[in-house]
Chain A
Amino acid sequence: EIVLTQSPATLSLSPGERATLSCRASQSVSSYLAWYQQKPGQAPRLLIYDASNRATGIPARFSGSGSGTDFTLTISSLEPEDFAVYYCQQRSNWPLTWTFGQGTKVEIK
């Protein structure tokens, strides 16, 4: 089973700053990685799919990069609405299952 490890657990930043979130897979997942944003009391929202593609309606300040085992979600300049928890996710083909990282909380400093 592939394990996803996100770091840091918490990121304390101010609005306007750049956020860099990491997701490391225990074995290669190629580019089969997605990122989700979850705000308190809300359902998760797809941000990035296939490691680097923004989902529909996602602002350009969100970008994803990486392949293999190391992935990064970057928020170029934090807006007040970006303070939330972010999860990475991978899909395994055999067996066909999906796993999430434990999440990174981006909080206001």
Chain B
Amino acid sequence: EVQLVESGGGLVQPGGSLRLSCAASGFTFSSYWMHWVRQAPGKGLVWVSRINSDGSSTSYADSVKGRFTISRDNAKNTLYLQMNSLRAEDTAVYYCARATLRHNWFDPWGQGTLVTVSS
């Protein structure tokens, strides 16, 4: 069974840092692009970042560019999101999602981890 499990969320002060992890199992992790998507409380889905299968290429939403870094460890079947200079508006549930091999849709998704940025 394909499974994605996020961890690392929590309460952090504005300006602080946090690293999210997404542990993958049930598939050949190193063959798939991966994504992070976030959802602020009561709001819609917002794509955050993506990384290709070997980690050599990444892209980011403008709202997080220069502050967030996506990475992966294919030996550990784990995806990461390093979040620096956090702002109140970064408060959200963060989901990791696997990209489909064709056309890069998101399937499946993890259950999400909540990040709260507040003093």
Contact = CB atoms under 8 A, between A and B. Distances in A.
Counting contact residues on chain A (CB < 8 A from B), the size range is 20 to 34
Interface in A83-99: 87, 89, 91, 95-99
A38 B45 CA distance: 10
B33 to A, nearest CB: 10
B20 to A, nearest CB: 15
Contacts of B110: 43
Given A43-B112, A44-B45, A49 B50 contact: no
A95 B59 contact: yes
A49 B103 CA distance: 9
Contact of B104 (A38, A87, A91, A99): A91
A100 B109 contact: no
Contacts of A34: 105-106
Interface of B: 35, 37, 44-47, 50, 59, 61, 95, 100, 103-112
Given A91-B103, A98-B35, 7 more contacts: A43-B110, A89-B45, A96-B50, A96-B59, A98-B50, A100-B44, A103-B45
